[in-house]
Amino acid sequence: MPVVNADVAAVFNQIADLLEVQGANPFRIRAYRNAARNVSELGGSVAEMLSRGEDLDVLPGIGADLAGKITEIVASGTCQQLESLRKEVPPAITELLAIPRLGPKRVRALHHELGVQTLPELLKAARDGRISRVPGFGPKMEQQILEAAASRLAQERRFKLGVAAQVADALLAELTQVLGVGQVVAAGSLRRMRETVGDLDLLVTARRGSPVMERFAGSPDVGQVLSKGPTRASVVLRNGLQVDLRSVQPASFGSAWLYFTGSKAHNIALRRMAQDAGLKLNEYGLWRGGERIAGETEASVYRALGLAYIEPELREDRGEIEAARGHRLPKLVRLADLRGDLHVHTRESDGRDSLTAMAEAARSRGLRYLAITEHSKRLALARGLDAGRLARQIDQIDELNAGLHGITLLKGIEVDILEDGRLDLPDVVLERLDLVVGAVHEEFELPRERQTDRLLRAMDHRCFTILAHPTGRLIDERPACDIDLERVIRHARQRGCYLELNTQPARLDLTDLACRMARDEGVLVSIASDAHSTLELDHMRMGIGQARRGWLRAQEVLNARPLTALRALLDATMGRAARPRRAAVAAAPEPADAHAE
């Protein structure tokens, strides 16, 4: 479909919104607003004017610069100015513009005064009564914003990624066994590895007469059958999760998988590209007139549109299409790239397995090193270690390493960061460790400035290595601490320490957007399981999805490095030169990094 005047006006209004959020020159903003209004009210089509070779700068309020942008928009559906602004403004902040009473000026004020840039942060600021203290706001408006933000976030019940993945794995395994079924896959937000999932979308290819829909709808886990037909069924499981199953033809499998994976914004952008090329894209394929030119695989669709294949985790319309067009997509980190895990617990504190059991479980998963990081004494409920118990564990790890093969245990601690930013254990014992992982476990409600300063002071400690679960959030249970995350990330870069992506499904902290921010600032991220048992080492799968959503490559992940390279980085954070490795802690030779770019 051709670009119409309303599309051009929408782009100009988006540019004006983002410029206003940035606090740009008012005259510049007004020029885009006026251009949007003039184009939308124009009797004729700007696209048709261009096709006839007419000059657009004869239009009211349209000079040569805006005429050039209209030409860009008609050709591509967007323009370089808009795409540049989207990179400059935090990606989630545009969601705030959809909240009633929050125009660009107010969004800018909340971002500037309170650091608010996401819906959960907006809701927390309203609940804390901080919005009413910002000039231009008041108690009445704060209540209206609170209700609107809460309503928007509660529009649908969502399940944590770990829960949805377990359910999907079981259903896919069951469907694979049904007579006549070929391919069986998950789509939707689960495949994109979003931290929460609203419902499950499953796809199968099946021969005519296969009982796959009957088997699916008749599963013992189904609480209610919403619909059932020969190619589609929709059910609600007993746990409340809705699952939709679709059967598609092999020739359409790739386009259907692409369509039902989403996101909606990504799909709209692809359809626009297809329309601009005179094609039609839907779940049945990519069409030129009545001829299907692609659709058997996702890659065939992207290729026919002139794009490199885009990994599912990136499909959020956050610049991935432009990167694919320019062959600038990152080679995303994979689970196989991880060489070790830098945050696990044993039964010495609140874990459930021994040092030896954790080491063997990590080695069986292909890891080459494992950092033992018990809680420190402040966390009494977790049987945290005091200096004496930690010293004994250090000696125990040294002895155990002497007999281990194929894996090395690293000596660490998850030390509590106290309210004033001090660490919970004395330097004399911290200095004996390979790494120190700092974490906040209490006083989550400190004001933004105090909470941020608390973290910065802890990171400045000469033995500090990694900031664990930086925002302290528990999904659907506890909101993130109110911190200036951008300041924390930049301070980590200056200090030379690292941030953790905690892969516990209840945390997934850092968020995908924060991972991307760390990547852009050049701060390495540790993808850590925070495992309290051997089974929880498998949480790494969830974290890899979050890291990939954050555009992280292996070289931007701390624990994707071989042990020798890792030790040098750890030593640097602990304020000491790289040490020669002692025979007692030597592991088997590291294999060559086959994935290094």
Tell me the pLDDT band of 88, cut-offs 50, 70 and 90: confident
> Which of these ranges, 109-113, 317-321, 417-421, has the smallest mean pLDDT?
109-113
For residues 450 and 452, what is the distance between their CA atoms, to the nearest angstrom? Answer: 5
SS3 state of residue 206: strand
Buried b (16+ CB within 10 A) or exposed e, 351-379: bebebeebbbbbbebebbbbbbbbbbbbb
Q: Which residues, including other chains, have CB under 8 Å from residue 486's CB and lie 6 or more apart?
A: 517
For residues 338 and 552, what is the distance between their CA atoms, to the nearest angstrom? Answer: 13
In degrees, rounded to 5, the angle at the alpha carbon of residue 485 between the alpha carbons of residues 370 and 455 is 65
Assess contact for 126 and 146: CB atoms under 8 A.
yes
What tokens were used for 434?
């390979």
Assess contact for 157 and 517: CB atoms under 8 A.
no
Helix ranges (H only) for 431-557 are: 448-459, 485-495, 512-521, 540-549
Give the 3-state secondary structure percentages of the chain, helix then strand then coil, rounded to 5.
Answer: 45, 15, 35
> Which of these ranges, 158-172, 424-438, 447-461, 578-592, has the smallest mean pLDDT?
578-592
Provide CATH 1.10.150.110 ranges for the chain. 5-153
Provide CATH 3.30.210.10 ranges for the chain. 253-325
Burial class of residue 120 in the structure, from the number of CB atoms within 10 Å of its CB (0-12 exposed, 13-18 middle, 19+ buried): middle
Task: Please report the DSSP string for 295-364 in residue order.
Answer: -SSHHHHHHHTT-----GGGTTTSSHHHHHHTT----B--GGG--EEEEE--TTTT-SS-HHHHHHHHHH
What pLDDT, on the 0 to 100 scale, is given for residue 43? 60
pLDDT at 3 over 70: no
Give the Å distances, CA to CA, from 131 to 121, 139, 264, 361, 446.
11, 8, 31, 49, 16
For residues 495 and 316, what is the distance between their CA atoms, to the nearest angstrom? Answer: 32
Task: Please report the DSSP string for 261-285 in residue order.
Answer: H--HHHHHHHHHHHHHTT-EEETTE
SS3 state of residue 435: strand
For residues 588 and 401, what is the distance between their CA atoms, to the nearest angstrom? Answer: 11
Q: What are phi and psi of 228, to 5 degrees?
A: -155, 125
Give the Å distances, CA to CA, from 86 to 17, 315, 414, 493.
11, 16, 37, 24
Q: What are phi and psi of 60, to 5 degrees?
A: -60, 130
DSSP annotation of 526: E
Alpha carbon 135 to its chain centroid, in Å, reads 33
What pLDDT, on the 0 to 100 scale, is given for residue 584? 30
CATH code at 253-325: 3.30.210.10
Burial class of residue 43 in the structure, from the number of CB atoms within 10 Å of its CB (0-12 exposed, 13-18 middle, 19+ buried): exposed
pLDDT at 481 over 70: yes
What pLDDT, on the 0 to 100 scale, is given for residue 515? 97
Tell me the pLDDT band of 156, cut-offs 50, 70 and 90: low
pLDDT at 153 over 80: no
Beta bridge partners of 557: 525
Q: Give 26-69 pLDDT, tens digit per residue.
A: 889 989 988 888 887 666 788 888 888 888 877 777 888 898 99
What pLDDT, on the 0 to 100 scale, is given for residue 155? 59
For residues 148 and 265, what is the distance between their CA atoms, to the nearest angstrom? Answer: 22
317: left (phi over 0), alpha (psi -120 to 50) or beta: left
For residues 469 and 466, what is the distance between their CA atoms, to the nearest angstrom? Answer: 10
pLDDT at 263 over 90: yes
Provide CATH 3.20.20.140 ranges for the chain. 335-585
Assess contact for 532 and 343: CB atoms under 8 A.
no
SS3 state of residue 246: strand
Q: Do β-strands 285-288 and 280-282 pair in parallel, antiparallel, or remain unpaired?
A: antiparallel
pLDDT at 1 over 50: no
For residues 2 and 94, what is the distance between their CA atoms, to the nearest angstrom? Answer: 26
For residues 351 and 341, what is the distance between their CA atoms, to the nearest angstrom? Answer: 15
Q: Do β-strands 498-502 and 466-467 pair in parallel, antiparallel, or remain unpaired?
A: parallel
SS3 state of residue 201: strand
Q: Give 167-214 pLDDT, tens digit per residue.
A: 899 899 999 999 999 999 999 999 999 999 999 999 999 999 999 999
SS3 state of residue 212: helix
Give the Å distances, CA to CA, from 174 to 101, 204, 392, 456, 510.
49, 12, 49, 50, 34
For residues 53 and 67, what is the distance between their CA atoms, to the nearest angstrom? Answer: 13
What tokens were used for 2?
């051709």
Closest Cα to residue 202, out of 231, 159, 160? 231
Task: Check: pTM over 0.95? Answer yes or no.
Answer: no
CATH domain 335-585 topology: TIM Barrel (3.20.20)
Q: Give 555-593 pLDDT, tens digit per residue.
A: 999 999 999 999 999 999 987 754 443 333 333 333 333
For residues 345 and 354, what is the distance between their CA atoms, to the nearest angstrom? Answer: 9
What pLDDT, on the 0 to 100 scale, is given for residue 581? 38
What pLDDT, on the 0 to 100 scale, is given for residue 583? 31
> Look-up: residue for tokens 């000596």?
411
Provide CATH 3.30.460.10 ranges for the chain. 159-247
Mean pLDDT of 97-119: 82
In degrees, rounded to 5, the angle at the alpha carbon of residue 337 between the alpha carbons of residues 332 and 341 is 120
CATH architecture of the domain formed by 159-247:
2-Layer Sandwich (3.30)
Buried b (16+ CB within 10 A) or exposed e, 502-540: bbbbbbbbbbbbbbbbbbeeebbbbbbbbbbbbebbebb
What pLDDT, on the 0 to 100 scale, is given for residue 437? 98
Closest Cα to residue 552, out of 495, 503, 480, 481? 503
Assess contact for 528 and 508: CB atoms under 8 A.
no
CATH domain 5-153 topology: DNA polymerase; domain 1 (1.10.150)
Q: In residues, how long is the chain?
A: 597
Question: Cα torsion at 4, 9, 12, 17 (round to 10°)?
Answer: -130
Could you tell me what percent of the chain has a pLDDT over 90?
A: 65
Q: Give 287-338 pLDDT, tens digit per residue.
A: 999 999 999 999 999 999 999 999 999 999 999 999 999 999 999 999 999 9
